[in-house]
Chain A
Amino acid sequence: AQSVSQHNHHVILSEAASLELGCNYSYGGTVNLFWYVQYPGQHLQLLLKYFSGDPLVKGIKGFEAEFIKSKFSFNLRKPSVQWSDTAEYFCAVRAGANNLFFGTGTRLTVIP
């Protein structure tokens, strides 16, 4: 069965620190990869997605993610976080089926 692992449950950073959130999935075929973000009190929204082509994808608000097929990974990065990035981040994979498989999420707290 497909699974998505997010190893960091809660990350606390100071403003301007660099961020990397891990995401690994288990599926050997073609995948579409997504990062969703949920800001406090708001609903899930798409941060970025990988469908095909360049494995380094750029999303909104300065976020990027790199698809490394050999490592089954799709880590999220941002060079300098801001207080407004405080949110919960979910990695998701579409693997053959129509629905998405989600990780358990990573809560990011940015300290001003």
Chain B
Amino acid sequence: GAGVSQSPSNKVTEKGKDVELRCDPISGHTALYWYRQRLGQGLEFLIYFQGNSAPDKSGLPSDRFSAERTGESVSTLTIQRTQQEDSAVYLCASSSAWDSSYEQYFGPGTRLTVT
């Protein structure tokens, strides 16, 4: 079946501009995660959605970052007033509430470059 999809695959933006990154999780997966991977570093957790519960925003690095999810479908990560340090690959993952091992399925990522 279809996996997690993300768009765009690449985004180049000027410093100070806002960007929106989109994630389509696997159908039926109630949990959705956003991670950031900077060059040479591991994945850094940003935010987690589970069904209709309040999202876990504990990983968001600043108030310039926000994310929304419509029900159990698509999610949008928004970065306002982008800075050069925001340059990274942004990864989305989803998992099923029925999988007790919490295995996460990852999308291909969006490579964001802030110039």
Contacts and interface: CB of A to CB of B under 8 A. Distances in A.
Interface of A: 4, 6, 32, 34, 36, 42-46, 49, 51, 90, 92, 94, 97-105
A100 B43 contact: yes
B33 to A, nearest CB: 6
Nearest to B44: A102
A49 B103 contact: yes
Interface string B41-84: 11111001010000010010000000000000000000000000
Q: Interface size class for chain B?
A: 20 to 34
Contacts of B100: 51
Given A32-B102, A49-B103, 10 more contacts: A4-B42, A6-B42, A34-B103, A43-B3, A43-B91, A46-B104, A46-B105, A51-B101, A97-B56, A99-B56
Nearest to A6: B42
A104 B107 CA distance: 18
A46 B43 CA distance: 14
B103 to A, nearest CB: 6
B42 A102 contact: yes
20 contacts: A42-B108, A43-B91, A44-B106, A45-B106, A46-B103, A46-B104, A46-B105, A49-B101, A51-B101, A90-B43, A94-B102, A98-B31, A98-B56, A99-B45, A99-B48, A99-B56, A100-B43, A100-B45, A104-B42, A105-B42
